Amino acid sequence: MPAPASSRPMKAVAVVGATGAVGKEIIGCLEQSRIQVGQIRLYASDRSAGKKMTYRGGEVELETLSDDAFRGVDVALFASEADISGRYAPIAVKAGAFVVDNSSAFRMDPGTPLVVPEINGALVTPDTRLVANPNCVAAILTMALFPLHLEARVNRVWAATYQAASGAGAAAVEELELSTRAFLDGKAYPPKVLPHPYAFNLFSHNASIDPATGYNGEELKVIAETRRIMDLPGLPISITAVRVPVQRTHAIAASVAFDRPITEARAREVLSQFPGLRLVDDRAANHFPMPVEASGKSDVLVGRIRTDLGDPSGRTLAIFIAGDQLLKGAALNAVQIAELAA
């Protein structure tokens, strides 16, 4: 049992990339966390130095990173690009901090745990100093796959993602808003941030395409990281990642094949009991997971559970998932990892 919050030692916590979308959410999650934050240090780019952000009603001045930034820091949460994390996370570890990195820098490093606490939190031990936070889709997808896998081994996954603008950053959200206004006003809006018109449109995820496989970088990340989180290195996964005109929260349609039949009723029971999941599966009302209901929420929503009619053996289920990629797909998951070491 974790110690009560009041009995835990106070921690000095650093947030790197504090002004970004994920960084801001990390700060909010820390305010609700079981971690006893005695001091918080917020780091951002040079242009933000000296500005202030709010934490627990007080103002905290933004600082710039340096090799000395992590002296006295107990926990460092990185919401930065991979190059920044790659340089400074080892410095933070050397300074004695427990580090959670949200970038791709360490996710496939065999010596660095890739963690979703409800699934493989046991990988975080007293000796662990650096943990990688997964890709947002991989974190959300595995939250639904893993409890089913405990019931019947997952043998194959087919998935399509419906990924929100906020996954591409604040500029993409602004482009969605501005282009939508322009469309409704009958005005042209040439895309500036994303490669295609965004208003009332959807398109293949904007990550670069691997010429050898035809899969884009986002899809390849999800495949590799899902296998690693689930500890199923050979799991066959096919995925198509799509950017949709939604401000926040990713959704996933998946068909999952198992090593033996699993009934819809049993799947609902298993999913409804798993921590961090909320079952939304009302056929009578045609009410299933939606971004509008998952946005800003800690739980991943799962539903639309049905036997896949393409597999007469009964070993394949179709499901639909929606999760806030800034929370369980990023900031919340990172803070939950930090709580494991608090």
Helix, strand counts (H, E) of the chain: 9, 14
Domain assignment present for residue 144? The answer is yes
- The whole-number average pLDDT for the span 92-96 is 98
Catalytic residue among 29, 136, 149, 205: 136
Tens digit of each residue's pLDDT (9 = 90 or more) over 125-170: 999 999 999 999 999 999 999 999 999 999 999 999 999 999 998 8
Q: How confident is the model at residue 2 (pLDDT cuts 50, 70, 90)?
A: very low
Tens digit of each residue's pLDDT (9 = 90 or more) over 25-43: 999 999 999 999 999 999 9
- The verdict on 193 and 72 lying in the same domain is no
- The verdict on 277 and 147 lying in the same domain is yes
Domain assignment present for residue 118? The answer is no
- Say whether 250 is catalytic: yes
- The verdict on 150 and 298 lying in the same domain is yes
Catalytic residue among 29, 149, 205, 250: 250
DSSP string for residues in 247-273: SS-EEEEEEEEESS---HHHHHHHHHT
Q: How confident is the model at residue 46 (pLDDT cuts 50, 70, 90)?
A: confident
Q: Residue 20 corresponds to which tokens in the numbers above?
A: 């970004």
pLDDT over threshold 90, residue 9: no
- The verdict on 93 and 145 lying in the same domain is no
CATH of the domain at 314: 3.30.360.10
Give the pLDDT score at 47: 87
Count the neighbouring beta carbons within 10 Å of the beta carbon of residue 275.
Answer: 9
Q: How confident is the model at residue 1 (pLDDT cuts 50, 70, 90)?
A: very low
Tens digit of each residue's pLDDT (9 = 90 or more) over 279-295: 999 999 999 999 999 99
pLDDT over threshold 90, residue 104: yes
Instruction: Sort 167 into a burial class: Cβ within 10 Å, 0-12 / 13-18 / 19+.
Output: buried
Q: Which residues pair with 62 in a beta bridge?
A: 42
Question: Quick check: helix, strand or coil at residue 200?
Answer: coil
Residue 311 domain boundaries: 138-326
CATH of the domain at 50: 3.40.50.720
Contact 159, 239 (CB under 8 A): yes
Which residue type does 138 have? A
Domain assignment present for residue 334? The answer is no
Contact 112, 105 (CB under 8 A): no
pLDDT over threshold 80, residue 118: yes
- Say whether 136 is catalytic: yes
pLDDT over threshold 80, residue 245: yes
